[in-house]
A and B are shown apart, each in its own frame.
Chain A
Amino acid sequence: MTSTKPLLEVDGLTLRVGASGRTVVNNVSFCVSPGEIVGIVGESGSGKTLAARAVMGFIPPAVRLISGSIRFDGEEVTTMAPKRLRAIRGARVGMVFQEPMTSLNPSMLIGRQLEEGLALHRKLDAAGRRELILDMLRRVGIRDPEGAFNAYPHQYSGGMRQRIMLASVMLLKPALLLADEPTTALDAVVQRDVMELMVDLTKENGTAVLLISHDLGMVARYCSRIVVMCQGDVVEHGNSEDILARPQHPYTRKLLAAMPHREPAREVPEAGTPLVAVKDLVVDYGGRQGFFRKEQPKRALHGISLSVKPGEVVSVVGGSGSGKTTLGHAIAGLIKPSEGAILFNGKPIDKSETAYWDYRLNCQMVFQDPYSSLDPRMTIGELVGEPLRLVKGMGAAEKKARLAEVLGEVGLGDGFAERYPHELSGGQRQRVAIARAIIRRPSFVIADEPVSALDVTVRAQVLELFAELQKKHGFSCLFISHDLGVVEQVSDRVIVMQDGRIVEEGTRDQIFDAPQHDYTRKLLSAVPGLESMADGGVRLFWRLGEPA
């Protein structure tokens, strides 16, 4: 980097919510030099997004700027006239948002959308614009740029849309790119591709990047400097290597410690019959059958067989569309499989009513989204206690005692039973969902991405709670996740799925240390491993050697 003055200087920025007077960004300062990649890391509510958006004057109407200055290329942004601000937005500063599904206008052709910015900020004729756009689409790896020009966003997957979004921003060769969780909604493999594309593109054009993310590992890989934010304050600011290896602030240490890590393999007792066995499970999603059309059913699972031993935690990993969620739902009985059988304690569950109810009462599920998995009209006590309704021969006093016991176990003791879900945080809600799943003391729990909606430190707490409960009650678990770090931490055995098929299966150490299948290797190479070091720091390492 040349010793020119920074491109973006944020100094003493303080933002406050107008109505409540709560300070959401407190005296935040950082700077970005031309061509540099700087990361802002923090959990939800840390103010990272607000701080970054303030750079472009994009703050919600309720939030007020109290003090501080933002200088972009020597010009003060906070006092800039709206017209000047608009000229800078897009042309000099580009933004990529988190949600690729909603950041493109669904009713506009892609070519037309990409043209908008060019038409606004560049003096070019239509042919010239088209030329530039096709070049850029080719550059971001769209196979048929001519086709994409006249296609709608819904015809592309999330990863492709994020590439298109990136193309639309980079077309104008901005001096600064604000990337707000640009890959959070994407698969590990796609995430890595998109990030690498972003780094390459910005390097070519000398664009500086301000990368906002909750994922410290990802940020550390791509950024030269990191700003760590917590509840509106910058708690630490420095070189990526220094922050990872020698974190100074307790919060940074907490964040690093919360990142998933591998523990020594557990002993799982060999048992004769598996607790749950799935044989050649096939699930077809029946195509819509209207009065006038019949669509071909789509096969989501192509004959899956697996087994879970008593007390064992088996993880299912795969990208989106791999069928892992469908598998979980089919095993939980939410989807009727087209073929195949599920055996519980060696007995097929669809052959007799007793076998079915035995399974039904012993198999429970924890869902992904703690906001939608709890009935908003019920209190926590009602929600958690509801499964006991179906337990025969349990008195009211006994039920009450069990409810109190389970709430205590998940750390929601005093007074929580009377509250409603909307009064709880995401982590607390997920504790409620776990309590509801284990209150009948089931022998088998299916967890479908139970922590993917949670913040890093909350995720660590919930995982710890889950492991503790699993140890205490000894239930078996089918853990469905796309997050390899989490899988590495919780599993005894790992099943890798791709396109509705199992491609590899083995103990955790086999899969993570000696993957056989190409897809498993691809998954593993997309995410760096973490190694804890003595003084609270961590080291990133590539699982399959440094990528080319």
Chain B
Amino acid sequence: MRLPAPNALVGGTLIGFLAIVASVSALWTPYDPLRLSFRAKLAAPSAMHWLGTDEFGRDVLSRLMAGAATSVWISLLTVALAVSLGTVIGLFSGYVRGWVDRTIMAFNDALLAFPGILLALGLLAVVGANKYGIILALGIAYAPSVARIVRGTVLSLREREFISASRVMGNSEAFTMLRHILPNCIAPLTVLATSMFGWVLLAESSLSFLGLGVPPPAPTWGNMLAGSRPYIGQAVWLGIFPGLCISLTLLGINLLGDALRDKLDPRMRGAR
């Protein structure tokens, strides 16, 4: 059997490791991630606390493990929501064109003009700051950029002759859209979705920073990173390790996204 592509291999390893850690954390972490211990506060990494402790003496490794599940879960669901919402809007808008398209896109662009985080803040005020509120708010906030890209792709695909060919064949508009247009949107969508995963991870930490994220004391990578700021001089590990986790996860997702895009595109198959 042929070895998978290097990007699939590295990305898969990183994400696989992350998934294992996240699942293990549900059953076992070295310490209770919520247990306070003022005697051991801001302890440097040592044999007892591999990655040190935070300002309340909570074990950083345990919190990172527990946070992995929350952060990744939130990001995954948010991206899924944004992509599906945006795709439906973009496909519909690009395909019907005319005034319906213009109206939808005017609304869409108005949303895009808003900073995503601001929009999410407003939505969070309505739905309430909890895990699902964040997913809903960020999902809606990021959907417009997906809609834009999908619509653009649909518009350019519409002009291709194979779409005309499908219509001449007698295929219905809906069939043409699902069979010929949607699959050809996948390449730009995978690229967008993987980079969006990063934005969402960071947006979630920004929300935590503003006190609208997952409420403390529950750990997420974002609120750990945000919480490390006052201690950056004394306890640099507080910021480094969550940051490293976010970076490696993003790297893994991006590599996996590239591999997935190549895999799904027949033109790339056998090209290696």
Interface residues of A (CB under 8 A from B): 290-291, 329, 332-334, 357, 360-361, 363-365, 367-369, 372-377, 379, 386-387, 389-390, 420, 422, 433, 436
- Output the nearest chain B residue to A363 by Cβ-Cβ distance: B168
Chain A residues, Cβ within 8 Å of B183: 375, 377
Asked if B267 and A422 make an inter-chain contact with CB atoms under 8 angstroms apart, the answer reads yes
Name the one of A290, A357, A377 contacting B266, with C-beta atoms under 8 angstroms: A377
Q: Which of B102, B165, B183, B184 has the most CB of A within 10 A?
A: B165
Asked whether B167 is an interface residue with its Cβ less than 8 Å from the other chain, the reply is: yes
Task: Type the 1/0 row for B183-205, where 1 means its CB is closer than 8 Å to any CB of A.
Answer: 11000000000000000000000
Given that A375-B180, A375-B184, A376-B267 are known contacts, is A387 also in contact with B161, CB under 8 Å in the complex?
Answer: no
Asked if B170 and A365 make an inter-chain contact with CB atoms under 8 angstroms apart, the answer reads no
Q: Is the interface of B mostly helix, strand, loop or mixed?
A: helix
Chain A residues, Cβ within 8 Å of B160: 372-373
A378 CB to closest chain B CB (Å) equals 8
Q: For the complex, what is the distance from the CA of A357 to the CA of B167, rounded to whole Å?
A: 12
Q: For the complex, what is the distance from the CA of A375 to the CA of B166, rounded to whole Å?
A: 9
Q: Which of B166, B171, B265, B266 has the most CB of A within 10 A?
A: B266
Asked if B161 and A390 make an inter-chain contact with CB atoms under 8 angstroms apart, the answer reads no
Asked if B169 and A390 make an inter-chain contact with CB atoms under 8 angstroms apart, the answer reads yes
Q: For the complex, what is the distance from the CA of A376 to the CA of B181, rounded to whole Å?
A: 11
Name the one of B168, B184, B265, B267 contacting A365, with C-beta atoms under 8 angstroms: B168
Asked if B170 and A375 make an inter-chain contact with CB atoms under 8 angstroms apart, the answer reads no
Which positions 35-68 of chain B face chain A at CB distance < 8 Å?
Answer: none
Given that A333-B167, A387-B169 are known contacts, is A372 also in contact with B267, CB under 8 Å in the complex?
Answer: no
Asked if A374 and B162 make an inter-chain contact with CB atoms under 8 angstroms apart, the answer reads yes
Asked whether B164 is an interface residue with its Cβ less than 8 Å from the other chain, the reply is: yes
**Shortest 4 CB-CB distances between A and B: which pairs?**
A373-B161, A367-B161, A420-B266, A360-B170
Asked if B164 and A376 make an inter-chain contact with CB atoms under 8 angstroms apart, the answer reads no
Name the one of A363, A364, A368, A420 contacting B161, with C-beta atoms under 8 angstroms: A368
- Output the nearest chain B residue to A446 by Cβ-Cβ distance: B168
Q: For the complex, what is the distance from the CA of A436 to the CA of B170, rounded to whole Å?
A: 13
A448 CB to closest chain B CB (Å) equals 9
Q: For the complex, what is the distance from the CA of A201 to the CA of B9, rounded to whole Å?
A: 62
Q: Bin the interface of chain B by size.
A: 10 to 19
Asked if B170 and A334 make an inter-chain contact with CB atoms under 8 angstroms apart, the answer reads no
Q: For the complex, what is the distance from the CA of A482 to the CA of B183, rounded to whole Å?
A: 34
A325 CB to closest chain B CB (Å) equals 11
Asked if A390 and B184 make an inter-chain contact with CB atoms under 8 angstroms apart, the answer reads no
Name the one of B162, B167, B168, B265 contacting A375, with C-beta atoms under 8 angstroms: B162
Q: Which of B170, B266, B269 has the most CB of A within 10 A?
A: B170
Asked if A334 and B164 make an inter-chain contact with CB atoms under 8 angstroms apart, the answer reads yes
Chain B residues, Cβ within 8 Å of A332: 164, 168
Chain B residues, Cβ within 8 Å of A329: 164
Chain A residues, Cβ within 8 Å of B164: 329, 332, 334, 365, 367, 373
- Output the nearest chain A residue to B184 by Cβ-Cβ distance: A377
A381 CB to closest chain B CB (Å) equals 13
What are 15 of the A-B contact pairs (CB < 8 Å)?
Answer: A334-B167, A364-B168, A365-B165, A372-B161, A372-B162, A375-B183, A375-B184, A377-B183, A386-B166, A386-B171, A389-B171, A390-B171, A420-B266, A422-B267, A436-B169
- Output the nearest chain A residue to B168 by Cβ-Cβ distance: A365
Q: For the complex, what is the distance from the CA of A334 to the CA of B269, rounded to whole Å?
A: 33
Given that A377-B183, A420-B267 are known contacts, is A357 also in contact with B162, CB under 8 Å in the complex?
Answer: no
Q: For the complex, what is the distance from the CA of A360 to the CA of B168, rounded to whole Å?
A: 7
Chain A residues, Cβ within 8 Å of B266: 376-377, 379, 420, 422
- Output the nearest chain B residue to A377 by Cβ-Cβ distance: B183
- Output the nearest chain B residue to A335 by Cβ-Cβ distance: B164
A366 CB to closest chain B CB (Å) equals 9
Q: For the complex, what is the distance from the CA of A360 to the CA of B169, rounded to whole Å?
A: 7
Chain A residues, Cβ within 8 Å of B269: 420
- Output the nearest chain A residue to B180 by Cβ-Cβ distance: A375
Chain A residues, Cβ within 8 Å of B180: 375
Name the one of A334, A357, A376 contacting B168, with C-beta atoms under 8 angstroms: A334
Which positions 211-247 of chain B face chain A at CB distance < 8 Å?
Answer: none
Chain A residues, Cβ within 8 Å of B161: 367-369, 372-373
For the A-B complex with A332-B164, A334-B168, A373-B162 known, give 14 more contacts whose Cβ atoms are closer than 8 Å.
Answer: A334-B167, A357-B170, A363-B168, A364-B168, A364-B169, A365-B164, A369-B161, A374-B162, A375-B184, A386-B166, A386-B169, A387-B169, A389-B171, A390-B169
Q: For the complex, what is the distance from the CA of A361 to the CA of B169, rounded to whole Å?
A: 7
B161 CB to closest chain A CB (Å) equals 4
B103 CB to closest chain A CB (Å) equals 10
Q: For the complex, what is the distance from the CA of A332 to the CA of B170, rounded to whole Å?
A: 10
A315 CB to closest chain B CB (Å) equals 20
- Output the nearest chain B residue to A391 by Cβ-Cβ distance: B170
Q: For the complex, what is the distance from the CA of A375 to the CA of B180, rounded to whole Å?
A: 7
